[in-house]
Structure 1
Amino acid sequence: MDNNMDKLIMQAYATPPVRANIVNKGMISLYCDYSGCTDQNAHGVACCFVYNRTILVRAKNLNQHYDGGSDFGELQAIVFSLQILTEALIAHQMSTVPKFAVVFTDCHGITKILAKTIFHNPYYEEVRNEILASLSGLQAMFPEIQVRVTYISNHKKNNPLHKMAHNAARKSIGK
């Protein structure tokens, strides 16, 4: 773990509303973010997985030749986070099963995008369908856990957990 990550973890524990998400046994929090540099055709996503005093950060580079803009990248970050959540729930039979899993995104239009039925861009429709299928699959496999995707809004400001995802997404594209 690097020094910056250590500082962010200490800051997370020192911030009461953020610390509440870290120590919560009833909720898994996933903070996701996208970073892109169109002139270098570099796109990356990251997720900070938080549950019961465990903080894990994963990132991946998206090898896409299409830049659908920031919202499209944020949707890709949500897909990545839902994959991480699914893997975690399948791999670990948790002694205390959480009641909720919340994917926090800084895509301000997420509610509208997920509810939208007509898209001018097929890429958006494909990724929206992938998110909805993942949510449906999670509900079928783990009916006791309510999974939702929500806009982080004011929770983002000075949130070290989201900052970890942000930094990891930028690092994945070499920034």
Structure 2
Amino acid sequence: MDSTMDALTRQAYATPAVRANLVNSGMISLYCDYSGSEQHVHAVACTFVFNRSLRVQAKRLEYDYALGSDYGELQAVHFSLEWLARALTEEQLRPKPKSAVVFTDCHAIERLLTKAYFADARYAVVRDDIHAILERLGTLRPDMEIRIKHMHRHKTNNALHRMAHNAARNCIGK
């Protein structure tokens, strides 16, 4: 673990509201973020937190031009839900989590997930993919509540979100 991650981990444990998600053995917390550049390079990342452990992954996105940060944030939520689906099917998470929350800093996430029409159909494709993953997870784990939540004030000084933010930025070379 590099020194920045080490410092952010210490900060996460030192912040009561954030520490609560780190030590919660009944809930998986996924902090996702998107980063883009003027050179049309884009990436998403997620910090996966469960039962005192955390992991960070990032992925570069491949598309030709900027579709806006809302599109990128939808991609970040999708990336996080894919990771959650893999973890729930491939890993033996102990104790068995009762819930999962995907935290995003996208203030429009609820509107984007329920919007009926988009001017660019690619938004609808990602939204529909998110709903399909949620439906599949609901079938796989009907006893588990899965939510996507805007972070509001929870973002301020949130080291777990900062880890995802830094990973996305590093992935695009910023």
> What residue in structure 1 maps to residue 118 of structure 2?
119
Secondary structure in 2 matching 1:28: strand
Asked whether 1:162 is paired with 2:161, we answer yes
TM-score, length-scaled by structure 1:
0.97
Cα shift at 1:94: 2.5
Q: Which stretch shows the higher mean deviation, 139-148 or 86-95?
A: 86-95
Cα shift at 1:160: 0.2
Secondary structure in 1 matching 2:149: strand
Mapping of residues 26-175 of structure 1, within 5 Å: 26-37=26-37, 39-175=38-174
Amino acid at match of 1:14: A
TM-score, length-scaled by structure 2:
0.97
> What residue in structure 2 maps to residue 15 of structure 1?
15
Amino acid at match of 1:120: A
Identity score, percent: 55
**Residues in 2 aligned to 1:8 and 1:95: alpha-carbon distance in whole angstroms:** 25
Amino acid at match of 1:9: T
**Residues in 1 aligned to 2:65 and 2:102: alpha-carbon distance in whole angstroms:** 25
**Residues in 1 aligned to 2:93 and 2:81: alpha-carbon distance in whole angstroms:** 17
**Displaced runs of 4+ in structure 1, greater than 3 A?**
none
Task: Spell out, residue by residue over 1:129-170, the C-alpha distance to the aligned partner (whole angstroms, 9 max, x if none).
Answer: 011111111111111111111101100010000000000000
**Residues in 1 aligned to 2:35 and 2:58: alpha-carbon distance in whole angstroms:** 11
Task: Spell out, residue by residue over 1:52-101, the C-alpha distance to the aligned partner (whole angstroms, 9 max, x if none).
Answer: 00100000111211311000000000010001101111112223211110
> What residue in structure 1 maps to residue 4 of structure 2?
4
Secondary structure in 2 matching 1:104: strand
> What residue in structure 2 maps to residue 24 of structure 1?
24
**Residues in 2 aligned to 1:63 and 1:115: alpha-carbon distance in whole angstroms:** 25
Amino acid at match of 2:113: L
**Residues in 1 aligned to 2:117 and 2:40: alpha-carbon distance in whole angstroms:** 27
Task: Spell out, residue by residue over 1:33-61, the C-alpha distance to the aligned partner (whole angstroms, 9 max, x if none).
Answer: 00001x31200000000000010000011
Secondary structure in 1 matching 2:22: helix
Q: How many residues in Structure 1 have an aligned counterpart in Structure 2?
A: 174
Gaps of 5+ in 1: none
Secondary structure in 2 matching 1:10: helix
Gaps of 5+ in 2: none
Q: Which stretch shows the higher mean deviation, 139-148 or 158-167?
A: 139-148
